[in-house]
Structure 1
Amino acid sequence: MARRKSSRNSSETSLFAKTDALDHAGNVEYVAISSETRRRYLNYALSVISSRALPDVRDGLKPVQRRILYVMYKSPLSLRADSKTRKCAKICGDTTGSFHPHGDTAVYDALVRLAQNFSLRYPLVIGQGNFGSIMGLRPAASRYTEAKLSALSEQLMNELRYSTVDMRPTYDAADEEPAVLPARYPALLVNGSSGIAVGMATSIPPHNLNEVTKACVQLIQNPDATVAQLMKYIKGPDFPLGGRIVTERKDVRAAYETGKGSFKTRGEWRHDKEGKKELKNRLVIYSVPYSVSTGPLLSEIGDLIEARKIPQLVNVNDETNEENGLRIVLDIKPGTDPEAVMAFLFKHTNLEQNFSYNATSLVPDDRGSLVPRVLSLKEMLQHFLDFRFDTVRRRLEFQLEQLRKRIHILEGFAIIFDGLDLALKIIRASSGKKDAAEKLMKKFPLDEVQTDAILELQLYKISQLEIDNIREELADKRAQAAEIEKLLKSKTQMWKLVRTELEEVAAEFGDKRRSDFGSADEIAEYDPSAYIVKENTNLVVTTDGWVKRVNSLQSVSKTRVRDGDSVLDVLPGSTLDNAVFFSSDGVAFTVPLDQLPVSSGYGEPLAKHAKLRDGAKVVSAITTDPRFVEAVDDDSSEWGPLLLVGTRNGQVLTIPFHGFRLPSTKSGRKYCRLRAGDEVVYCQLVTEAETVFFASANARVLHFSLSDVPMLTAAGKGVRGIKLDPDDRLLGVVQLTRPSDCLRAINSNGKEMVFGQQKYQVTSRGGRGVLTSKRGSFESIVRPEIQLVDWSEMEEG
């Protein structure tokens, strides 16, 4: 990095010269922070990808899992399946101290998961103590639990003694560890894996060992087999606790072909039975989707019952035990449709889950480095088979080398036994082991290795019986070596051996499939209205936009509202109907009444159910209950009730209410298009009115006929209702039905003024109206008194 030139005095120059010299002497290098940050972040990302988060396609393990298993397998722990368990604290300590330089909590969490039969399809560790539960309970601390390897996990490491895989130095170079374990079965698919790296992740579900083995055998026999052909054997994931996979077959195939997709799984259920009798009022959930804990699930269902979201469901109990397995009992009301209950639970709880499938794993490239790749089902199996073939070859080569060493020594024994008397004479006459070795090699065709073995031979071995045993061993070893040499020369025979060993593992450890298959159409479609308790209610709407439901309301003044707020309206209706809220920015929001809170307090803001724009407020609210607002059929030629809308700038329009009856999204529906600076001040249903009063803030009143207002079939700007001065605005609208109907306004002096229909005759729409006061103005228009419905006198709808 270039330095700036600057003028310095002699003392400054001397000081900077010394600093530069120190920097140079201390090897301080100036670099751009951007490039250094980029380099270090890349190193971090590569470390996470290759050394922590992603599994190896060959043994299906992440580094921490591989190191835990290796520590348990090797001496001095040697925690084999037939040995005693040891404290997990000891296992974690040895792992972090010698092989995995990370936190012991992360190591213990990985060890616990390897022992959980609800996390792994085939657990690799046998745990003793509290290793957590399907209910979501945490495991005990490592000082309280013990563990050892399962018999299946030994199949991942039994061939280490044959030098089948490369060893590499540990992080401190004090020991060696295997770069990969010589797995005898495709562990990546069998137990699955999950992890999050930098910019990538993996999520592979577990599969059935028998199915995966059959697919491997098929791929050995037919290397050109497609994913579709392999799926004749691998039907799909096989989760530890079962579950029902309802993803369509074509979607499963697409996921296996591309390496990415998802599997939708549901819990399984049945009618409870007592002996042979079916109990109609009890349902039993006996499996849940993968990774779902029953504790939170029970809480979810309990909350739904408490909130009366599913009235058909009475109670939920957890009757899970070791004898009966997973068992969640649902008590339902008599006559309830079980399919409807389950459809609701699948929709609103974790009884239905999408398991994300992402087959990203580490694959060795041509240079031996590991690179992340998204693999298809065939590629995963092929990578494992290629690795398995190479592992078997290395094992055979190791065994052949050991056989040849032993044969070489046995051949030396055979040579010396043919001249045993002479050999003994030479040994007696020698001055020591070195002298005897030299004399024997001169007299007999022996090398140093053979001579050393002869001199180490115990005296009883030179008996006739032992000599015959050695010759038999030599013949046997030569036959074994010849058999291995023959195997190594034939790829066909090698693949046959790989196949046989795979089938042996499957025969010993394989079991039946636990996850069933179904269709997404097999469950009744979720119908929200079927789960709503039908009852009459009152919806209280305040001026500030707060809403609440109350079942009974004796007086508007007695309901609780926030300080400074007031009741705008009280809507009667059934919980099966909706409420339409009209905002000042010309947007209507239709919300089901059952979704609004029942409260004796303030309720909650409408903004939780609708996206109100900044500054917008609720102008009015209308129920869709057909007992109060007439409803028309969609195919009817009639428009039904109309909405009368008035805006601040004096515009007016009518629009059919029918288009707002059905629930809307949170964004709502437009009912009026406003010009800049304008807003809606009035929106109500037209009942039997024929004329209206438009009143402005400057005390002008215009009386005109509703027949002059054109009806719009969609949201629009409307027409001019009253012509206003630049400093004036529309304050309110009053519909006039009976001769006694009048306009009541509060003037600037706080007095109420009344304007009847006789004095202010009907004129044309769009005029300026009559100036009612030259000195004062209108502050507000008095709203009609809110009329409450007496539900006790109404017939149930």
Structure 2
Amino acid sequence: MGTDLAGHIEDTKLAEALSERYIAYAMSTIMSRSLPDVRDGLKPVHRRLLYAMQQLRLDPTSGFKKCARVVGDVIGKFHPHGDASVYEALVRLAQDFAVRYPLVEGQGNFGSIDGDGAAAMRYTESRLTEVAQALLDGIQDDAVDFRATYDNEDHEPIVLPGTFPNLLANGAAGIAVGMATSIPPHNAAEICRAAKLLIENPDVTIAELVDLMPGPDFPTGGILVEERDSIIRSYETGRGSFRTRARWEVEQGRFGTWMIIVTEIPYQVQKSRLIEQIADLMEQRKLPLLGDVRDESTTDIRLVLEPKTKGVEPEVLMETLFRNTALENRFSLNMNVLGGDRVPGVLSLKEVLRAWLDHVHEVLVRRSNHRLAAVLRRLEILEGFLAVYLNLDEVIRIIREEDEPKVSLMATFSLTDVQAEAVLNMRLRSLRRLEEMEIRRERDKLADEQKALETLLGSERRRWTRICKDLDGTIKKFGSGPLGDRRTLIAAAPEPVDISAALEIDREPLTVLLSREGWIRAMKGHGLDPQGHRFKEGDEGWLSVECQSTDRLCLISSSGKAYTIKAADLPRGRGFGQPFRTVVDVPQEDRIVILFPVSDEGRRLIASASGRGMIVSEAGLVAEKRTGKQVFNVKDGDEVFACIPVSGSHVLTLGHNKRALIFPLEQVPEMTRGGGVAFQKLGDSTLRDMRTLTLSEGLLWQEGQRVRSAADLTPLEGRRGAVGRAAPQWMLRNKG
């Protein structure tokens, strides 16, 4: 008697329930959604799309069918997910700017490189390309295993035969749970040549493979400017990145004028967004050498960049654009794929090629065995035909007169069950006079094929030779012409271009004002009175820094981070400026300690409120990102107190505990990052002041006082990290 489970409740720990369900979700995402298979380079949705289109007989020579019909078949039979996601996958397989070797040929609006979406699936049509047909070739010959579909009503392939190197040729991208994949597209002919080399020499090095396969080949072209050593290292580890640049040329105009024409842009960069980015940077005065940008593209890309003056060098103008815009881009490499055993892992280039070749070898063996079985079945039938052909009258008599003709045929002519069944099913038109000769010719031909297949299956060397010939066929078919020719130019890593001289054209003196409320702006000229400028109500001037428009300013926050601001990027004019947190990403809880122009030779003494510090070079404070650069590590409850220029021979520190200490500057280490060393032991107190000085020259503590001589200062000398001496009254006067 069965137990009624309705209303049954089991107590389970929340952590265990969450863990079990999340692991199941993670595995489903990794195995059935996001990571491609190393053998055919496809994710399940793409594999099901191609198989469904083949079932609909949408081969390259047939007519097109509505994409809605294809998507309906896919989600109805194989892939029970949303139609929008399936159609997006179908559209991408048809976009020649997104996929290096399109697997789907589209008819209608399938989107553009500007980021425009495709038309609705009821308006577009599609069919398979020859590349997709190469991936599917042999699927009817028991080349791969099949499994039941989600509803057990049909079967689908676990993997495609994949005699085309799709994983590397078309690349892949996906984000799973806890792992991701990013593989750039490559040239199919180069992949096949590298695979042949691996067959000939299994111990080949990655460097030798890179000789034949020098780097990615993006569908949008461009120029690969990554160093060869970096490319080899990326392919060895399966992780890295490739630096690409737009392809451009100079077009001469009248009277010595010129403009730059960009004809190819980096992969996965939307042209419309690129133009918007350039226009925004021009508005913000971050591209001072660029005068205008226009899009004159038709089916081919043509971006026109005009310089502000014809005296600018084209290379210098392009360098400013490469540094600031997506005309230079990096494509990451993370060859995280599902292996033949369905286990995810990051593979090297050699391992990916080896896994694909092993799959191709297995497909060849399975197809050969399938064909051999078919040949043997046919030979058995032909032998039966020949056995009875000279006695057709007796065959006809047996069929007409015997109650069990099949048994009588088998006994009379020593036929097998299959042969007797074939004789009984023979059509009358096969009894014509010349049929026996045709049967003998077919038998001899099949016998030769049987011998060739058995020889092939009996020799692994012959099988690899056959695979090499198939690779040559792939090279011949897909390795040249508009589809196969390499599109991405392989170039040497570019030499550094000095753009500072060109930017000197706009060099002018500036005074940068930072208000108490955090508003920053740049005013033309030096010697300005901060109080003479307008501020928002309740705000006032705080920091005033004199610099040049070509300078970089360093901003030190209380958490020990250094941020870099280009003076030329700051707003000018009579307004209030803009909040400095829109220029750099400083957390709200951090306060600004100091703002100063960076000097390549300058050095700074940085110290925390607890009395620890170190020397840092100003060049080392420059940060490339808006999020800044951690330079001084402060502990919880502590913060940066001061960052002053290094000069003189000694350091003077004064604590709120009214104790002062002077120690040699040479005792302070110079560091690129760290928590510094103890300047003065302050206990529960904090720093009140810090100065650098030359002991022999004395010290002017504050305006209105006399210069304190070495004799006044010597009593305060001690070793770094000491408690210090009681500070004299002149040092404590008027200091908060």
Determine helix, strand or coil for the equivalent of 1:47: helix
1:414 and 2:395 correspond: no
Offset at 1:236? 1.4
Contact 1:88–1:145 (8 Å) recurs in 2 = yes
Determine helix, strand or coil for the equivalent of 1:160: coil
Alignment deviations for residues 116-165 of structure 1 (CA, whole Å, 9 cap, x no partner): 11221111111122222222222222222221111111001121111111
Alignment deviations for residues 395-448 of structure 1 (CA, whole Å, 9 cap, x no partner): 1111111111111111111111111111222223245xxx33233223221233
Determine helix, strand or coil for the equivalent of 2:266: coil
Code of the residue aligned with 1:417 in structure 2: it is: Y
Offset at 1:508? 0.9
Code of the residue aligned with 2:323 in structure 1: it is: K
In 2, Cα distance between the equivalents of 1:197 and 1:731?
60
Contact 1:311–1:532 (8 Å) recurs in 2 = no
Code of the residue aligned with 2:76 in structure 1: it is: G
In 2, Cα distance between the equivalents of 1:549 and 1:475?
93
- Equivalence map 1:569-588=2 (5 Å): 574-577=548-551
Alignment deviations for residues 574-613 of structure 1 (CA, whole Å, 9 cap, x no partner): 4235678899999999965324332533223445559699
Distance of aligned partners of 1:122 and 1:105 in 2 relative to their CA distance in 1, 3 Å threshold = same
Match of 2:463 among 480, 494, 504: 494
Match of 1:133 in 2: 112
Determine helix, strand or coil for the equivalent of 2:344: strand
Match of 1:284 in 2: 261
Alignment deviations for residues 428-469 of structure 1 (CA, whole Å, 9 cap, x no partner): 3245xxx33233223221233222222222222111122322
Match of 1:150 among 123, 129, 133: 129
Contact 1:586–1:680 (8 Å) recurs in 2 = no
> Which 5+ residue runs of structure 2 have no aligned equivalent?
600-617, 619-645, 664-670
In 1, Cα distance between the equivalents of 2:558 and 2:207?
59
1:240 and 2:219 correspond: yes
Code of the residue aligned with 1:513 in structure 2: it is: R
Match of 2:283 among 296, 302, 306: 306
Code of the residue aligned with 1:101 in structure 2: it is: P
Contact 2:181–2:335 (8 Å) recurs in 1 = yes
- Equivalence map 1:77-116=2 (5 Å): 77-116=56-95
Code of the residue aligned with 1:52 in structure 2: it is: R
Match of 1:520 in 2: 493
Determine helix, strand or coil for the equivalent of 1:161: coil
1:535 and 2:508 correspond: yes
Match of 1:329 in 2: 304
1:459 and 2:428 correspond: yes
Determine helix, strand or coil for the equivalent of 1:155: helix
Determine helix, strand or coil for the equivalent of 1:361: strand
In 2, Cα distance between the equivalents of 1:718 and 1:532?
52
- Equivalence map 1:194-209=2 (5 Å): 194-209=173-188
1:224 and 2:203 correspond: yes
Code of the residue aligned with 1:604 in structure 2: it is: Q
Contact 2:557–2:590 (8 Å) recurs in 1 = no
Offset at 1:691? 7.4
Distance of aligned partners of 1:668 and 1:319 in 2 relative to their CA distance in 1, 3 Å threshold = farther
In 2, Cα distance between the equivalents of 1:355 and 1:407?
56
In 1, Cα distance between the equivalents of 2:385 and 2:314?
82
Match of 2:640 in 1: none
In 1, Cα distance between the equivalents of 2:368 and 2:562?
78
Determine helix, strand or coil for the equivalent of 2:440: helix
Offset at 1:652? 9.7
Contact 2:49–2:70 (8 Å) recurs in 1 = yes
Match of 1:723 in 2: 729
In 2, Cα distance between the equivalents of 1:407 and 1:588?
82
Match of 1:72 among 41, 53, 57: 53
In 2, Cα distance between the equivalents of 1:312 and 1:287?
21
Code of the residue aligned with 2:410 in structure 1: it is: M
Match of 1:62 in 2: 43
Match of 1:52 in 2: 33
Match of 2:323 in 1: 347
Offset at 1:197? 1.6
- Equivalence map 1:383-782=2 (5 Å): 383-430=355-402, 435-510=404-479, 511-525=484-498, 527=500, 530=503, 533-551=506-524, 559-568=533-542, 574-577=548-551, 592-606=566-580, 609=584, 703-705=705-707, 723=729, 730=734
In 1, Cα distance between the equivalents of 2:62 and 2:469?
28
Distance of aligned partners of 1:279 and 1:130 in 2 relative to their CA distance in 1, 3 Å threshold = farther
When structure 1 is superposed on structure 2, of 27-36 and 408-417 the one drifting more is 27-36
Contact 1:582–1:683 (8 Å) recurs in 2 = no
Determine helix, strand or coil for the equivalent of 2:212: coil
Code of the residue aligned with 2:286 in structure 1: it is: K
Offset at 1:483? 2.0
Match of 1:315 in 2: 292
In 2, Cα distance between the equivalents of 1:119 and 1:247?
21
Aligned residues: percent identity? 38
Structure of larger gyration radius: 1
Contact 1:410–1:470 (8 Å) recurs in 2 = yes
1:33 and 2:14 correspond: yes
Contact 2:653–2:687 (8 Å) recurs in 1 = no
Offset at 1:335? 1.0
Code of the residue aligned with 1:300 in structure 2: it is: Q
Code of the residue aligned with 1:375 in structure 2: it is: L
In 2, Cα distance between the equivalents of 1:706 and 1:606?
39
Alignment deviations for residues 26-75 of structure 1 (CA, whole Å, 9 cap, x no partner): 6543333322322222222222111111111111111111001100111x
In 2, Cα distance between the equivalents of 1:230 and 1:623?
49
Code of the residue aligned with 1:479 in structure 2: it is: D
Contact 1:645–1:682 (8 Å) recurs in 2 = yes
Offset at 1:639? 6.3
Offset at 1:202? 1.4
Match of 1:5 in 2: none
Match of 2:230 among 238, 245, 251: 251
Quote the RMSD (CA, aligned, Å): 4.4
Distance of aligned partners of 1:407 and 1:536 in 2 relative to their CA distance in 1, 3 Å threshold = same
Alignment deviations for residues 736-767 of structure 1 (CA, whole Å, 9 cap, x no partner): xxxxxxxxxxxxxxxxxxxxxxxxxxxxxxxx
- The alignment covers a number of residue pairs equal to 669
TM-score, with structure 2 as normaliser: 0.79
In 2, Cα distance between the equivalents of 1:371 and 1:587?
42
Code of the residue aligned with 1:330 in structure 2: it is: L
Distance of aligned partners of 1:49 and 1:555 in 2 relative to their CA distance in 1, 3 Å threshold = closer
